[in-house]
Structures are given as C-alpha cells and as structure tokens.
C-alpha cells in the first residue's frame, strides 16, 4: 500500500496540467508525494486554440498532449474519468463510469482516495436558458465539440459547392452569439476559411457566399475590454466583411434562424454560442462545498475552499476574491496560469510547515487575434499601471508568446524550441487549412 501523501488534481486544462507538471517534478520525482491527474479526456489542447481547431486553421494532432505519455515523463499518474461526486468524510472523490462510443461500460464507477484535492475543471458555455440554444447551437467547450464543428463546416461547404454546380442558391449564413474574445476571433478564422476552402477544388464558391454575423447583447463588442480595443476590433471585423450587431439580445434560437428581442428574424444555418460561461453544475452538489450562483466553488485568497482545508480550487471553476476589488479573479487563461504557480508554492509549503501563498492577480492585458490578418491588444504597464495599445506584428508576437509560455511550463525551453521548429516545418508542408 502506498502511504505517501496523495495530491489529486481534477481537470487537465491549462492550469491543472501546469500544476501537476510542476508537482510531479518537485514532489513526485523525489518520492515526497504521489501526484495524480484526473481528466475525462485522453489529451490536452490549450482551450484558447479551440476556435482555430473548429475553423480548420490548426491541426490539433500536432498540438495536443497525451496525458499518459506526459504523466510518465513528468512523474505523476493519470486516471481517465469524469468526477461526479465527493465524500469528504472518507476523503474520496467519485469517478463516473466510463463508456465507449457505443455506450458500453468500459470501467465502472470508482473512488479515488486523496489527502489533498485540487479541483480545476474549467467552465462550460452559459446559454442563460435561451430557448432553442441547446437544441440548435454549436458550442466550443471541448476538443470533441471543436472537431464536430469543423466536420459540419466542411460538409456545409461541400453542400454549397454541389448546389452552385447545379445552379441553385448556395448561400451559408453563420451566426456567432457573443462577441467576447472567442466569438470575435472565431469570426476572423471563419472568414479565412471561407476564402481558403474554395481554392481546394471548390471553385464554384466565393467568400461572399458565406455571411458571417457576430451578435452581442451589449452596446459594443468585447464589452469587458477597453473601448479603444473594442473599436479597433469592430473596424477589423467590418473590414473582413463580418456583420457586427450590437445591442441585439437573442430571444430564441431556431433551426435555421435567430429571433431577436426586437422581433426581427436573422437567417442562420450554423449558429455558434459564445456568449458566456459557467462552472459545471455538479460542483454545486459536492458534499457541502460552498458555491455561488454560477456554480463556482468559493475559495479564499489562498485558493482554499471555504468549507474544507484539504480542498483547493482554481481557474474558471473557482470564485477567488482579490484585495481592494469587489469582483473575483476573471476567468482567463493568464489567471489560471498565475494561480497554478501560486498553488504550486502553497502545496510545497504545506510539506515544510510554511504558510500558504495568497494569490494576487496581475492583469497583463488582452490580445485579440484576427487570424492571419492582424492582432490588436493592450498591455498593462507593471510600473505605471497604464495600458498600452498595440497592433500588427508586435501584437501578434505577444499573442503567440502566450501559447509558447504555456508550452514552456509543460515541456521546458528546449522541447518547446523543438516544437516551435516542427510547427514551422508543418505549416510549410501542409495546407493552411485542415481539409478533413
């Protein structure tokens, strides 16, 4: 029987995978603790890249990380499964049965003992109860959903090309509900796809056959970001022939259209929901742990849950307070990255009898990437606190560096350099868009 202190991290997203990687190298390698990652998938893809997978501009096979292989290299264990419950008195988490694609049970429900539990299960789309959203919208919460979207997009283009060949009407209306970073970046990627895909044998199509609309209930797109950045993003979308509709709440999603609050109807054969997020619903039923209205686990500034000193939570699924602010830490990739670093120090300190590390969020700014066309953003000055607006190649460099920093955290500088070189070779040898 293994009597080492067992740290279990649930969720292999950006923050969770970075945390187990650090813990594995620091504690697992030296046999000071047993570290286990639990996730419902076999591979990891950085969530901010899912819109590129959906459009086909990113070949996921060269960018996903296999958990089992990564675990072996970085001295932690991996358990495949979805957390469905918690028994705090026995210090066990419940893993739901695992089924294959035909619905047959492969592994029954099981329990995993823990000494320290970290919950980092991320977030899912929040449709705010909009009628028809679940039935008719596509979502980009997971790699599986992004791949499904990509297949539907390719099939839509094939169908359009056939209709054009027959001399029939062949327009495609794509609507993106929600003009946050994901919605705006997805619109640019889809416009690129509409211009690139006809080149590959679909020569009866034109980019103008595809109508792309971004719909935002607020009075401007990117409402959480500075006004100057929002205005620049609007100009770029309009330059790319993307229709921008602001102050337009959607009251109902239908099979081939959207019904707006003012009663107008917008045709839409493909509708993507990108208008908000919430934590998974099962968190609100975890054996008495405190949650807020968005299902987020309530934690203190050390990322420790309010009801259990041995359970921590971070990332999108946690509501973490900040000094001198009424709002919790925003659900952003850079926040999860910073929290993983802070929690790593806290968990290591526990072994040495040292105090926990309070988490203080440092906002480094925001960057919005418009595919190959341009990038805009604002960077926060560490000394002055002021933001600096950037665009073009400089902004693109900073945008790419965010993903490379994530790769460095997972692989180290040398392997990341090799991966970067392989990406360059792959882009030179393969089509710009994934065609299958």
Do both 154 and 238 map to the same domain?
yes
Work out whether the CA dihedral 434, 99, 128, 294 comes out positive or negative: negative
Domain membership flag for residue 18? yes
Query: What whole-number distance in Å separates Cα of residue 64 and Cα of residue 47?
Result: 11
Contact 34, 7 (CB under 8 A): yes
pLDDT tens figures, 79-129: 999 999 999 999 999 999 988 888 899 889 999 999 999 999 999 999 999
Contact 302, 356 (CB under 8 A): yes
Alpha helix ranges (H) inside 43-142: 50-55, 67-73, 133-136
pLDDT over 70 (residue 1): no
Do both 297 and 425 map to the same domain?
no
pLDDT tens figures, 139-179: 999 999 999 999 999 999 888 888 888 888 888 999 999 99
Do both 283 and 322 map to the same domain?
yes
Entry pTM = 0.90
Query: What whole-number distance in Å separates Cα of residue 128 and Cα of residue 275?
Result: 9
Q: Specify the number of domains making up the chain.
A: 3
Do both 266 and 141 map to the same domain?
yes
Q: Which residues of 255-291 are buried (b: 16+ CB within 10 A; e: fewer)?
A: eebbbbeeeeebebbbbbbbbebbbbebbbebeebeb
The Cα-based distances of 254 to 147, 257, 354 in angstroms read 23, 5, 56
Do both 112 and 154 map to the same domain?
no
- The domain of 419 spans 365-429
Do both 383 and 399 map to the same domain?
yes
pLDDT over 80 (residue 398): yes
Q: Look at residues 213, 242, 276 and tell me which one is the last residue of a structural domain.
A: 276
Domain membership flag for residue 83? yes
Domain membership flag for residue 139? yes
Q: Look at residues 219, 242, 276 and tell me which one is the last residue of a structural domain.
A: 276
């Amino acid at each position: 029987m293994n009597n080492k202190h067992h740290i279990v991290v649930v969720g292999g997203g950006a923050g969770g995978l970075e945390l187990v990687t650090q813990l594995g190298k620091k504690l697992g390698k030296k046999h000071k603790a047993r570290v286990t990652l639990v996730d419902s998938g076999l591979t990891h893809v950085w969530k901010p890249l899912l819109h590129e997978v959906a459009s086909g501009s990113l070949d996921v096979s060269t960018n996903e990380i296999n958990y089992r292989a990564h675990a072996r290299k970085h001295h932690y264990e991996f358990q495949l499964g979805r957390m469905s419950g918690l028994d705090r008195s026995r210090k066990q988490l419940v893993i739901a049965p695992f089924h294959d694609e035909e619905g047959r049970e492969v592994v029954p429900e099981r329990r995993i003992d823990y000494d320290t539990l970290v919950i980092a299960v991320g977030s899912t789309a929040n449709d705010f109860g909009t009628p028809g959203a679940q039935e008719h919208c596509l979502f980009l919460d997971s790699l599986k959903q992004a791949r499904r979207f990509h297949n539907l997009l390719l099939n839509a283009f094939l169908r359009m090309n056939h209709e054009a060949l027959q001399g029939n009407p062949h327009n495609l209306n794509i609507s993106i509900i929600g003009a946050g970073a994901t919605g705006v970046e997805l619109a640019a990627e889809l416009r690129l796809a509409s211009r690139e895909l006809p080149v590959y044998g679909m020569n009866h199509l034109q980019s103008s056959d595809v109508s792309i609309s971004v719909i935002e209930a607020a009075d401007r797109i990117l409402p959480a970001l500075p006004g100057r950045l929002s205005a620049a993003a609007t100009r770029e979308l309009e330059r790319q022939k993307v229709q921008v509709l602001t102050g337009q709440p959607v009251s109902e999603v239908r099979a081939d259209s959207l019904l707006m609050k003012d009663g107008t109807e917008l045709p839409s054969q493909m509708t993507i929901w990108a208008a908000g997020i919430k934590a998974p619903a099962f968190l609100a039923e975890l054996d008495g742990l405190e949650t807020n209205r968005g299902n987020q686990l309530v934690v203190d500034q050390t990322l420790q849950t309010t009801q259990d000193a041995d359970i921590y939570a971070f990332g999108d699924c946690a509501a973490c307070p900040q000094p001198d602010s009424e709002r919790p830490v925003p659900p952003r990739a850079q926040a999860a990255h910073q929290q993983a670093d802070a929690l790593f120090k806290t968990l290591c300190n526990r072994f040495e009898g040292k105090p926990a590390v309070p988490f203080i969020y440092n906002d480094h700014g925001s960057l919005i990437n418009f595919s190959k066309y341009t990038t805009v953003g604002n960077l926060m000055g560490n000394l002055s606190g002021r933001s600096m607006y950037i665009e073009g190649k400089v902004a693109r460099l900073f945008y790419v560096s965010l993903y490379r920093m994530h790769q460095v955290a997972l692989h180290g500088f040398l392997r990341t350099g090799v991966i970067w070189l392989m990406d360059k070779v792959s882009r030179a040898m393969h089509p710009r868009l994934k065609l299958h």
